[in-house]
Amino acid sequence: NAGVMQNPRHLVRRRGQEARLRCSPMKGHSHVYWYRQLPEEGLKFMVYLQKENIIDESGMPKERFSAEFPKEGPSILRIQQVVRGDSAAYFCASSPGQGSYEQYFGPGTRLTVT
């Protein structure tokens, strides 16, 4: 039973480029969450999605960041025109929903903006 999968594990982008981070939830899980972790800091909620729906995006920066979870395929976190301050570890988590609150995390994508 595969856990939450994320790719790529490491991503290097120059300032101004786009970053696309992918997350495949655990089998049977329909809820996906994205968190950002800066070095030596805690995890900050960004967005919560279900298939084809954004449920809560209160943690997403207003500009340059977007997320989707299409009917088919992985969830994608997209960062346009990256800046150095976007360098961080981005973790995806999934849960089965339906009253089950446990969230299980993927290995993360470490984004470095040069």
Partner 1 sequence: GENVEQHPSTLSVQEGDSAVIKCTYSDSASNYFPWYKQELGKRPQLIIDIRSNVGEKKDQRIAVTLNKTAKHFSLHITETQPEDSAVYFCAASRAEKLTFGTGTRLTIIP
Query: For partner 1, which stretch binds (CB under 8 A), given 21-29, 50-58, 66-74, 77-85?
Result: 50-58
Q: Which is nearer to partner 1, 15 or 44 (CB)?
A: 44
* Minimum gap (Å) between residue 19 Cβ and partner 1: 19
- The residues, ordered by sequence, that sit 6+ positions from 6 with a Cβ below 8 Å of its Cβ are 21, 22, 23, 24, 91, 92, 106, 107, 108, 109
Assess 22 for contact with partner 1 (CB under 8 A). no
CA distance 52 to 48: 11
End-to-end CA distance of the chain: 37
In the range 25-44, which residues lie near partner 1 by CB under 8 A?
31, 33, 35, 41-44
Sign of the Cα torsion 89, 114, 46, 99 reads: negative
Assess 91 for contact with partner 1 (CB under 8 A). yes
- Residues at the contact surface with partner 1, assessed by CB under 8 A: 31, 33, 35, 41-45, 48, 55-56, 58, 91, 95, 97, 101-108
